[in-house]
């Protein structure tokens, strides 16, 4: 069974703090993704990575950066958290570089920025 885990289910941070969201998958997937999900806006892609040290911007990369030093781990970084980054953050992974296949999602991290 594919497992995607995220470091926290709930997180509360203050404006201006640096925030790290960690995602780990155990199926040797090449592709990894970070999304945020907001009511009325659906799922929006922030960044994705199709290999170690590779990253591509999604639809809403502003205010975020990512790191992929190991194949199994993909980190999302909020350099200076702001209240409009309060959201549900979902990580996903999929196999086979170059082709979009089934994505397996982690349980999500609900981030609140005060």
Site track 12-51 with another protein (rule: CB under 8 A), x = hit: ---------------------x-x----xxxxxx--x-x-
Residue with smaller CB distance to another protein, 39 or 84: 39
Nearest-angstrom CA–CA distance, 5 and 72: 10
Q: Is 89 in the site for another protein (CB under 8 A)?
A: no
Q: Per CB under 8 A, which of residues 44..83 are in contact with another protein? A: 44-45, 48, 50, 56, 58
Nearest-angstrom CA–CA distance, 95 and 27: 8
Specify whether the CB–CB gap between 109 and 97 falls below 8 A.
no
What's the closest the beta carbon of residue 22 comes to another protein, in angstroms? 16
Size of site (CB under 8 A) for another protein: 23
Nearest-angstrom CA–CA distance, 76 and 32: 11
Nearest-angstrom CA–CA distance, 44 and 63: 14
What's the closest the beta carbon of residue 17 comes to another protein, in angstroms? 25
């Amino acid at each position: 069974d594919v497992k995607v885990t995220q470091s926290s289910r709930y997180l509360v941070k203050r404006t201006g703090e640096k925030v790290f969201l960690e995602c780990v998958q155990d199926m040797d997937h090449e592709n990894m993704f970070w999304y945020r999900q907001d009511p009325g806006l659906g799922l929006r892609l922030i960044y994705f990575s199709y290999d170690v040290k590779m990253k591509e911007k999604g639809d809403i990369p502003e205010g975020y950066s990512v790191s992929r030093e190991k194949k199994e781990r993909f980190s999302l970084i909020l350099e200076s958290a702001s209240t409009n980054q309060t959201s549900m953050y979902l990580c996903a992974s999929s196999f086979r570089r170059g082709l979009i296949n089934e994505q397996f999602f982690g349980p999500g991290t609900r981030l609140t920025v005060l």
